[in-house]
Amino acid sequence: MSEDSNFDFFQQQVSDLLLRHRSFLDVSSKFQESNARVNRALMKAVTECGCIQVNARRRPVPQDATLEEWKEQLKTHLSGELCDHCLDVLKAEMGKNLFYLTALCNLLNIRLQDVIEQESKKLSTLGVFNLR
């Protein structure tokens, strides 16, 4: 199955299974809720399990640095690795989040593959100037 048809197949699955929350308001609020659950799963990995740690402080801004030097300087603030349990929980929550994002696409007649392709083109065109 091609990558395009994988996205289209998933989008069709979401359309077929979305029975209860067909209202735009329901889907939008479920999308927000699922995003919060992704964040909560991350926080639990830090605070309850401890498999990952956050060590954040102000990032130094290197003057006259190359792109590679910038990448080396700008750390993720994370250390450790997700344990199997936290990884499973996080992937499940991300899956629900993707489900509701796709449901929003369906309600708005937007093809998920088109969204991904448009973002990819923008990233390719703008490169590092696409800083957000």
Q: What is the mean pLDDT of the chain?
A: 87
Q: Write down the pTM of the prediction.
A: 0.82
Closest CA to 48 of 91, 77, 97, 82: 82
CA–CA gap between residue 47 and residue 34 (Å, rounded): 20
Question: Rounded mean pLDDT of 69-93?
Answer: 88
pLDDT band at residue 131 under the 50/70/90 scheme: low
CA–CA gap between residue 94 and residue 57 (Å, rounded): 27
Task: State the helix-helix crossing angle for 24-44 and 84-107, rounded to 10 degrees.
Answer: 160
Instruction: Find tokens 């735009």 and name the residue.
Output: 24
Give the pLDDT of residue 65: 75
Closest CA to 52 of 79, 20, 73: 79
- Given a cut of 90, whether residue 106 has pLDDT beyond it is yes
Give the pLDDT of residue 4: 59
Give the pLDDT of residue 114: 95
Instruction: Find tokens 């997700």 and name the residue.
Output: 82
Domains and CATH numbers, the chain: 20-126 (1.10.287)
pLDDT digits over 12-60, tens only?
A: 999 998 876 678 999 999 999 999 999 999 999 999 999 999 988 877 7
Give the pLDDT of residue 63: 77
Give the pLDDT of residue 100: 95
